[in-house]
Structure 1
């Protein structure tokens, strides 16, 4: 099943303090007015605080399914952060596009810009701070409700009313939920990892991750990413 054309909510945000410790983050995104200019590394006017792990050509725009918000509200309570789209740091918010019907390599037109799904999101501990939930990042990873990133194949401009349209699907067997299952549940599926490492549309760092698992026979340690340095939950 392929997702139907949909009008996205477009969001951007500045770098600002997050949580009691005031860590720098641009996770809080808000709707911005059109036109939206999309460059090689994302939306004009958008920011990323930690460019080592966020942003860049393979993570130019983040897309998150708004229907997941209702599931999160049931699971973690009526968190204030869930009142409107943008809570997960997404640039594009839609209903009808999810990890169950979007594939790695999908090519999407938005206005005059051409985007391609490059990888899923690897959630980090800043989600724990954002939602006042000490294991939120781990929950996002476990459920597979991670969202995904686009690279920009053609820069361009989108106007109010423009739709996201799927225009090509080179890897129809590589739904994002398959990729997430391979990364976080069936972690040593060697056949799957071999296929993942050979996906040309997948971001290079994720192909490298698959190769490292195949070579080492071990799964990487996720604790620092999920819980942060020194968290008691790292000793769970």
Structure 2
């Protein structure tokens, strides 16, 4: 399959990509968006857009964040569904506009009618999307299940020793976010950003010992999420030591399911 030519899908792919830090999830996401013309639906971007637009929900969410609180999972789901509704990918309802208040969203969610109603999702290939940043826990997944029929969940299984080796050689240009690796993507000049000529740095949490702890915490928190999607029959695990190994396997599975 040529990466230069996008693959047309015959039906909508509503995807979630799960993978530990350092597994290449960002790389795979970018390739999927290009290869299959998926749209990226970022929960973080949707929340920030509501805050920037000063919607009632955005104002209340900003207040909660400033106070160190967490946005309720069901409210985040409503924000996501509102975005999908705005794009015409799920059946639109008046309660899903971005201007809904947080108290109103919670009141709606508590109603029996809302719980009994499942949104109709578009099966048009143009409605395909990759959900970024949500869900991260089983509880979040259950909240999402109540509103949207996701149909493909990918688990990136990369050996821990491979991830730690990648991290040991990783350097970043902090202002732009460009990432280099001394092993497979080195800068043209050691320690220097290719574009600006500014020095590269290492992230404080990129030392192997710290990162190993992050991986362990990720595995513990993600296991129930994977179990949830496995029982639902949506989970597909792909194993590999590099993004270049994983990409063709993942592409082939998407083609098998949706093209």
Greater fraction of residues in helix: 2
Greater fraction of residues in strand: 1
> What is the TM-score when the length of structure 1 is the normalising length?
0.26
In our comparison, the structure showing a higher alpha carbon Rg is 2
> What is the TM-score when the length of structure 2 is the normalising length?
0.24
